[in-house]
Amino acid sequence: HFLLQPHLDPTGRITQVSAAYESPYGRIRSEWTLDGGGAALLYDVQVPANSEATLRLPAASADAVREARTPLAGVDGVRFLGHAEGVASYRLPSGSYHLTSRLR
């Protein structure tokens, strides 16, 4: 189990980050880009097999995070943990995710 919690640059100068780590279970990948003048966060993540992650993602509301056109909480195996102080939290099973989070 691991935590994914991207932090956005409050100055707005950093608009893209990419990182990967070779864990004992496989590659963990986290990559985000600000889009639309900071209105949305595009977030790609890979959770290796036999693993799960807690995702804490900046989001305007509980339903602002989507995988394709589906609310993330509606994706098989994903569990919504809550939304507080502009952050939506989820438990993610292994897999690759291409997420969009509306920030405002």
Distance CA 41, CA 43 (A): 6
- Which pTM does this prediction carry? 0.93
User: 11 is in which domain, residue-wise?
Assistant: 2-102
Residue range 9-38: average pLDDT?
A: 94
Q: What is the pLDDT of residues 26-62, one digit of tens each?
A: 999 999 999 978 899 999 999 999 999 999 999 999 9
- Cβ atoms of 65 and 100 within 8 Å: the answer is yes
Q: Quick check: 35 and 104 in contact, CB under 8 A?
A: no
Domain count, the chain: 1
Task: Identify which of 97, 104, 65 has the alpha carbon closest to the alpha carbon of residue 83.
Answer: 65
